[in-house]
């Protein structure tokens, strides 16, 4: 099975690489939702979630060595990467260049 990414738009794509079996990944998903909701940045990113169990090919393609990892893709290139974020503040700092 392959992931069908929607056509590239002007907005950056935020790819959340995770494991469905990881409690830490679930916490990070909650932190990410808080950061995007807190500053009303719901539409800032095209958010794509990629489970390592379902798409190991994408983890290899993006050279993901650990989950959770957040990757910002802009203009068909990786613009930024954050491995194993620990909280809202770290995620917000990482995404600051794109947030309102």
Return the CA Rg of the chain: 13
Range of the domain at 40: 13-95
Say how many domains are in the chain: 1
Q: CA 66, CA 53: separation in Å to the nearest integer?
A: 13
Residues 6+ apart with CB under 8 A from 5: 13, 48
Per-residue pLDDT of the chain (100 residues; tens, 9 = 90+): 556 555 545 789 999 999 999 999 999 999 999 998 886 776 788 999 999 999 999 999 999 999 999 999 999 899 999 999 999 999 999 999 988 7
- The DSSP output letter for 84 is S
**pTM as predicted:** 0.86
Residues 6+ apart with CB under 8 A from 34: 88
For residue 8, being part of any structural domain is answered with no
CATH value at residue 57? 3.40.30.10
Q: How deeply is 53 buried, as exposed, middle or buried, from its count of CB atoms within 10 A (0-12, 13-18, 19+)?
A: exposed
For residue 80, being part of any structural domain is answered with yes
């Amino acid at each position: 099975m392959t992931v069908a990414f929607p056509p590239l738009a002007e907005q950056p794509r935020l790819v959340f690489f995770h494991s469905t079996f990881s409690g830490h990944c679930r916490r990070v998903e909650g932190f990410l939702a808080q950061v995007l909701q807190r500053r009303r940045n719901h539409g800032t990113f095209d958010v794509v979630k990629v489970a390592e169990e379902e798409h190991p090919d994408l983890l290899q393609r993006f050279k993901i060595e650990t989950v959770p990892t957040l990757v910002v893709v802009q203009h068909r290139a990786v613009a930024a990467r954050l491995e194993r974020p620990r909280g809202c503040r770290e995620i917000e700092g990482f995404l600051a260049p794109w947030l309102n």
